[in-house]
Chains A and B, each alone.
Chain A
Amino acid sequence: MNILTTQNLKKQYDMGEIQVKALDGINLFVREGEFLAIVGTSGSGKSTLLHMLGGLDVPTSGKVVVDGKDISKMTKDELTIFRRRKIGFVFQNYNLLPLMNVYENIVLPIKLDGIRPDRDYVEQIITLLGLKEKKYAMPDQLSGGQQQRVALARALATKPAIILADEPTGNLDSRTSQDVLGLMKTTGQRFGQTIVMITHNDEIAQMAGRIIRLEDGKICGGENRYAESEE
């Protein structure tokens, strides 16, 4: 079953007289529980696509359907709540809140939902991601890898259906990158989550279950057929 699909997704930017097509009719299909990597060179539109999938940006035209719901029809706040419950984001530069410690950063999305955090589950994630010692540390006291692990823990905390990771290893060295990705994969499998990751690093992409390639805002390679055929 497809948990995430896009239909003829387009995004254009007006830069004076020139129109830049960041996404040019993307039809994407992602099955529940799979680990998809989207690769492409800088400027190929992969980040834009990921932002559209997570409702962080608005498409010029086309549809994004997540878990059977067309998110392009949602209001800003509906989208925020939907994102909080269904999607976990991992950013390249972590985007941790500097005033909160590791634990607070992790449980914030749960608390924003007005729910008491499931302590066992949170502790489980913290332990799994090797953050036990740093539970009460502030973000600026952590290394890049540790910060990214916190970002991942935060993304996992609400038990979202989908994790969207935007160059999660972009700021990390190769060893740490391997660690973070390994953890992402493990937790994804363990908690039955779908992972969509973008990267420009082919080696990193190889760790995913499926890879699609983007160029000039279009899907130009990879294994998107499998989903299409099913459709």
Chain B
Amino acid sequence: MLKVKNKKVVSEIARTTYRANKKRNFLTIFAIFLTTFLIAIVLALGVSYWNTVSERQIRIQGMDYDIELSEPRDDQVEKIRSMDNIEYAGVAVKCAIIEQYQDKSLDKTRLYWLDETCWERQTIPALEGYEGKYPQSESEIMFSQDTLKAMGIQKPKIGMKLPVTYFTLKEGSDEELLKKDFVLCGWYTDYSGNQRGYVSEDFWKTTGVMQTDFTQGSLKISLKNPLYSEKDITAMQNEINMDRNQYIDADTDTISNFCKIAVGLIVMLLMIFTSGYLFIYNTLYISVSKDIRYYGQLKTVGMTSVQLKRMVYQQAVWNAVAGIPFGLIVAFIIAKIVIPQLLQIINPVFSASDVVSAKIWVFLTAGCFAFFTNLISCKEPAKMVGECSPVEALRYTPGTCRKNNHKRESGGVYSMALQNMFRDKKQAIVIFASFTIAISIFLVVNVIIRENDAKRILNETYTYDMQFKNETTLDDDKKQVITGDHIFQIEQIKGVKNVRKVTSTEVVVPYQEDVYGEYYKGLYQSRYSPGNYEEDMELYQKEPENAYFTSRFISVDEEGVEVLNESIGNTLDKEAFEAGKIAVAVKFLNFMEGDYGISGKTIRFFLPDGKKPTEEYSIQIAAVVDNWCNPAFFAGGITPDMIVSEKYAKKLMGELFTELINVQYEDAFSKGTEKKVKAVFEDERQISYESKLKRYAEMKNSETKVKVLGNSIGFIIAMLAVLNYANMMVAGVQNRSKEFATLESIGMTTKQTKKMLRVEGIGYAVISIIISLIVGLPVSCAVFNAMNLYRISFSIPWASNLILFGVALVLCMIVPVLIYQKTQNASIIERLRNGEDQ
């Protein structure tokens, strides 16, 4: 067959058609622009958001590493550093603890020596910032700002002298207190909330602590591929010939956690991409179906299906060429200029440059996606054009519900609106799907933003706003520094909701194999084994009062019982607890699973500081909890601590020793209340405090970034959901131009038409919102759980969702009416004629 040279003609017709449909092309280009913009901006902001949240997570940890080897020997350090999958490994040794600065008691400020790798590669990246340099000489020291504040130093200066009382952690040193004047050589900010300082290698050597000493030294290991399995860890263990007490601290759920997060992200990306696809598809579908008659005419004059299809694709390419670069440029401007500027205005700490890491791949992905989506979206309309017969095409009316000819006798504005919504089922599905997906994305993004809200994280992880600890609790000459008077003063402060008192004292628990036997076995079999089981148990039976085996007898007040009960799933019989019939036991270590058959058994004990030191008491253990549920701070020996009611403790002890108080405010993070509460203990030197507000203040910078990025994503997605709908409505209203004219010719007033459009809009919004709630909420819950780093509970951000729903509803009502007003200005006759021409 001879090839007919008709490409030029087809191109020319395509060009003429394209030029003639400026308005409609604008809509298609706008759809492509929006999709490109959506993908580019969401990817750019999403990546930055992710980086910021991860960065904050590292800062909360205080150090950036994947796994940790305890008490490493030099040969092990060398061996590990030479391994293929190791990025770097740094040594950290805890060598001393500062007790006092001048005459002020500190909250166990630990001093570490870090080798160069650990400091430069693993610590600096986890700091928000630091001043000065790492200690070099024996007297130099570096503190966290948190520690300096606890010392009462608000404006630190390099070179300032810091007289402290400390003890070394050398084995057998018996915490002998030493005095030393350190010289401050630097300070840093992280979000760990730990009070710690860094010292030079020379100082560390003077302490006599070895890096192989139990619990003091550790090797922080950063892996090349942070996704590791238990098998990898076992392989590493086998290679380095570990001692009995050594262990590798690794999270074996890394891969499964990563998969969960990946699935969450993929679901979100799929939704965003689908939303973009539907947007372009729908616009093209409307556009081509509107042109069907015209294509039918072309067919009647001899244009083939192939030529028509080519024409559709050619026009699609032109639209893409116009829409994609524009979308990319706007996304770039917003990501690189608008949002950084906004951040700088909110918080001048940020340099306007590196806020959004808009990498080139983001734009390439967005551009390619929009281009191919555009071509794929053309497939169906092109098929429609190619397949329809000329006569059918000439008679084509968009969305005729042929089958729907039941004996219906409606016909009012409402029923017309309803019919219009579903006139073209396919298009209705596309509109609902795209609107629903957009709203669902908003729901999901909203939940993720909420999940990463610093206040929320802190609210979930802190049971108090401020905690005051008596630092003399474990001293031989302990002092009742937190008095009833103090508590009363705090309770009287406006803005304080409650003060929960936690008291503690030493308790001697005689060896009782039937109660704790299994627990001790479990403890000694674990990698945290405190020593030799047989020897220790023998010693225990002989000397139950040895500090190694004693534990703490903790009491909580009524408010405290509520908090404790909540942490164990509200299973406590509060009456029995208050009456002193039952107690809760606290495991020595967090990782120990199960209750070792302790629950329900009765334990015997003595209280050496109680009213009757020699009398044996007994109480039933109702539950066994992890250490993180322990309301007290100071630990006893390896025997589980006991938590009882204050009433019961008072009965046995007489006067109770207050270890700490937890203060809760009416309004969390209230600066005014905090200031007044802090003032109560202003002159008290042996009390340390911890505050949620202080942690929040440390996280403030990254919080601003997280919020601005997160809210920008949310806002852009919400805006796009609405624009997407508006664009569809523009096409829809234009498509129905002739119908509106007909209705007007037979007596439908503008008011009635607007009412019909409004009802349609409400219908679209309400149905989409309902579907989004049905689909979006479970998805958002799933994504939330997949990405839940801080184990906070799921809750729906109703306020922002309701605002979106409200805005969507109002816009859905207003937009079609506005479009109608703007586009249907010509006389009825003109509109009827235009309708016929199409």
Task: Give me the interface of A with B, judged by CB distance under 8 Å.
Answer: 51, 54, 56-58, 76-77, 80-81, 83-85, 89, 91, 93, 95-101, 103-105, 107-109, 111-113, 136-138, 140-141, 154, 158
Report A-chain residues with C-beta under 8 Å of the C-beta of B742: 95-97
Question: Given the complex, which residues of A lie within 8 Å of B748, measured CB to CB?
Answer: 80, 84, 112
Instruction: Report yes or no: B747 in contact with A95, Cβ–Cβ below 8 A.
Output: no
- Residues in A with CB closer than 8 Å to B738 are 95
Q: Which residues of A contact B400 (CB under 8 A)?
A: 98-99, 138, 140
Q: Which of A81, A95, A141 has the most CB of B within 10 A?
A: A95
Q: Which of B54-62, B332-340, B401-409 contacts A (4 or more CB under 8 A)?
A: B401-409
A14 to B46, CA, bound (A): 55
Given contacts A51-B829, A97-B739, contact A80 B402 (CB under 8 A): no
Return chain B residues, CB-CB under 8 Å to A113: 747
Chain A CB within 8 A of B836 CB: yes
Which residues of A are found within 8 Å of B413, using beta-carbon distances? 112
Would you list which residues of chain B between 566 and 612 have a CB under 8 Å from chain A?
none
> Once the chains bind, are B402 and A140 in contact (CB under 8 Å)?
yes
The minimal Cβ–Cβ distance linking B509 to chain A, given in whole angstroms, is 83
| CB-based closest 8 A-B pairs | A84-B747, A104-B411, A95-B742, A77-B749, A56-B828, A80-B749, A109-B747, A98-B397
CB of B420 within 8 A of chain A? yes
A58-B827, A138-B400 are contacts. A93–B743 as well, Cβ < 8 Å?
no
14 further interface pairs, Cβ-Cβ under 8 Å (given A51-B828, A97-B743, A109-B746): A56-B828, A77-B749, A81-B747, A83-B747, A84-B748, A85-B747, A96-B742, A99-B416, A100-B411, A103-B409, A108-B746, A111-B411, A136-B406, A138-B400
B562 interface residue (CB < 8 Å to A)? no
Q: Which single residue of chain A is at the shortest CB-CB distance from B399?
A: A99
CB neighbours of B420 from chain A (8 A): 99
The distance from the CB of B388 to the nearest CB of chain A, in whole angstroms, is: 15
Q: Are A111 and B409 in contact (CB under 8 A)?
A: no
| Contact, CB under 8 Å: B402 / A81 | no
The count of residues in chain B whose C-beta lies closer than 8 Å to any C-beta of chain A is 38
> Which residues of chain B have C-beta atoms less than 8 A from A80's C-beta?
744, 747-750
Closest A residue, CB atoms, query B747? A84
Are B411 and A84 touching (Cβ within 8 A)? no
Residues from chain A with a CB closer than 8 A to the CB of B745 are 54, 56, 83, 89, 91, 95
State whether A108 touches B411 (Cβ < 8 A): yes
A56-B828, A99-B400 known; A138-B749 Cβ under 8 A: no
Tell me the bound Cα distance from A97 to B740 in angstroms.
10
CB neighbours of B161 from chain A (8 A): none
Distance between Cα atoms of A105 and B405 in the complex (Å): 12
CA of A208 to CA of B78, assembled, Å: 112
Q: Considering only CB atoms, which chain B residue lies closest to A137 in the complex?
A: B405
A23 CB to nearest chain B CB (Å): 13
> Interface of B with A (CB < 8 Å)?
395, 397, 399-402, 404-413, 416, 419-420, 423, 738-739, 742-752, 827-829, 832, 836
In contact, A95 and B401 (Cβ under 8 angstroms): no
CB-CB under 8 A from A99, the residues of chain B are: 399-401, 416, 419-420, 423
Given A99-B423, A137-B405, A141-B402: A76 and B750 interface contact (C-beta under 8 Å): yes
CB distance from A147 to the nearest CB of B (A): 12
Flag if B405 contacts A104 (CB, 8 Å). Answer: no
Give Cα A54–Cα B832 distance, bound, in whole angstroms: 14
Question: Is A112 in contact with B827, judged by CB distance below 8 angstroms?
Answer: no
- The residues of A that contact B836 with a CB separation of less than 8 Å are 93
Tell whether, in the assembled complex, residue B747 and residue A136 are in contact, meaning their CB atoms are under 8 Å apart: no
In the complex, chain A residues whose CB is within 8 Å of the CB of B827: 56-58
> In the complex, which residues of chain A have a beta carbon less than 8 angstroms from the beta carbon of B744?
80
Contact partners of B416 in chain A: CB under 8 A = 99-100
The interface centre, meaning the residue of B411, B416, B423 with most chain A CB atoms within 10 A of its CB, is B411
Q: Closest residue of chain B to A119, judged by CB?
A: B409
- Nearest A-chain residue to B406, judged by Cβ: A136
What separation, in Å, do the CA atoms of A93 and B832 have in the docked complex?
A: 10
Q: How far is the CA of A111 from the CA of B405 in the complex (A)?
A: 19
Is the CB–CB distance between B749 and A104 below 8 Å? no
Where chain B touches its partner, the secondary structure class is loop
Chain B neighbourhood of A93, CB < 8 A: 836
From residue B634, how far is it (CB to closest CB) to chain A in Å?
78
Q: Inside 8 A of B402's CB, which chain A residues have their CB?
A: 138, 140-141
Enumerate 13 A-B pairs (CB-CB under 8 Å) in ascending A order.
A57-B827, A80-B748, A84-B746, A98-B397, A98-B400, A99-B399, A99-B416, A103-B408, A104-B408, A109-B747, A111-B411, A111-B412, A140-B400
A103 contact set on B, CB distance < 8 A: 408-409, 411
> Within the complex, which residue of B397, B411, B746, B750 is in contact with A140, where a contact is CB–CB below 8 Å?
B397
A136 to B357, CA, bound (A): 62
Chain A's nearest CB lies how many Å from the CB of B746?
Answer: 5
Contact residues in B for A112 (Cβ distance below 8 Å): 413, 743, 746-749, 752
* Cα–Cα, bound, A80→B412 (Å): 17
Which residues in A have their C-beta under 8 angstroms from that of B743? 97, 108, 112
Q: Which residue of B lies closest to A114 (CB)?
A: B412
Bound-state CA distance A229–B423 (Å) is 54
- B739: which A residues are within 8 A, CB to CB? 97-98
Task: State in angstroms the CA–CA spacing of A77 and B832 once bound together.
Answer: 18
**Chain A residue with the shortest CB-CB distance to B743:** A97
Select from chain B the residue with minimum beta-carbon distance to A76: B750
In contact, B408 and A101 (Cβ under 8 angstroms): yes
- Chain A residues with Cβ below 8 Å from B746 are 83-84, 89, 108-109, 112, 154
| Contact B397–A104 (Cβ < 8 Å) | no
Contacts of A154 in B (CB 8 A): 746
Complexed CA–CA distance, A80 and B752 (Å): 11
The reply to whether B832 and A95 contact each other, CB–CB distance below 8 Å, is: yes
Which A-chain residue is minimally distant from B398 (CB atoms)? A98
In the bound complex, CA of A102 to CA of B397 (Å): 17
* A138 close to B405 (CB less than 8 A): yes
B817 CB to nearest A CB, Å: 15
CA distance A158 to B738 in the complex (A): 22
In the complex, chain B residues whose CB is within 8 Å of the CB of A57: 827-829
For A56, the chain B residues whose CB sits under 8 A away are 745, 827-829
Q: Which residue of B lies closest to A58 (CB)?
A: B827
Chain B CB within 10 A, most for which of A99, A109, A137, A140: A99
CB distance from B292 to the nearest CB of A (A): 14
Distance between Cα atoms of A113 and B400 in the complex (Å): 25
- Set of chain B residues within 8 Å of A83, measured between Cβ atoms: 745-747
Residue from the set B399, B416, B747, B832 with the largest chain A CB neighbour count within 10 Å: B747
Note all chain B residues with C-beta closer than 8 A to A104: 408-411
Residue in B405, B407, B413, B743 with the greatest tally of chain A CB atoms within 10 Å: B405
In the bound assembly, the distance between CA atoms of A137 and B400 in angstroms comes to 12
Cα(A57)–Cα(B745), bound, Å:
10
- Pick from A93, A100, A140 the residue with the most CB of B within 10 Å: A100
User: Which residues does chain A contribute within 8 Å of B411, judged by CB atoms?
Assistant: 100, 103-105, 107-108, 111
A99 to B739, CA, bound (A): 10
Q: Which residue of chain B is the closest to A92 with respect to CB atoms?
A: B836
Tell me the nearest residue of chain B to A158, going by C-beta: B747
CB distance from B820 to the nearest CB of A (A): 13
A54 and B827 alpha carbons, distance in the complex (Å): 12
In the assembled complex, the CB of A51 is this many whole angstroms from the nearest CB of chain B, namely 5
Beta-carbon nearest neighbor of B738 in chain A: A95
**Of B419, B747, B750, the contact of A100 (CB 8 Å cutoff):** B419
A100–B395 Cα distance when bound, in Å, is 17
**Hey, which chain A residues are within 8 Å of B410, CB to CB?**
104
The chain B residue with its CB closest to the CB of A106 is: B411
Which residues on the A side are within 8 Å of B401 (C-beta)?
99, 138
Interface centre among A77, A80, A84, A138 (most CB of B within 10 A): A80
Distance A223 CA – B368 CA, assembled complex (angstroms): 71
